[in-house]
Amino acid sequence: MPALIKTPNNFRSKFLAISRDVHTHTRSGGSSMQFQFSFKHMATSDALQTYAQDKFQEKIQKFVTKPMAAHVTFSVNRHQHTAHLSFRAGDGFSIEVEHTSNDMYASVDEMVDKLSSQLKKQKEKLKDHKQPKLSKSFESVEPMEAEVDAADIIKLENAKRRASGH
Please state, in angstroms and as integers, the Cα–Cα distance from residue 53 to each residue in 108, 112, 128, following that order.
10, 10, 30
- Please report the pLDDT score of residue 119 as a whole number: 85
Residues 43 and 86: their CA atoms lie apart, in Å, by 21
- Please report the pLDDT score of residue 87 as a whole number: 87
- Please report the pLDDT score of residue 161 as a whole number: 85
pTM: 0.60
Low-confidence ranges of the chain (pLDDT < 50): 1-29
Residues 45 and 108: their CA atoms lie apart, in Å, by 13
Looking from the CA of 43 toward its CB, the CA atoms found within 13 Å total 4
Residue 45 makes CB contacts below 8 A (sequence gap 6+) with 39, 74
Domains of the chain (ranges, CATH numbers): 3-134 (3.30.160.100)
- Please report the pLDDT score of residue 123 as a whole number: 80
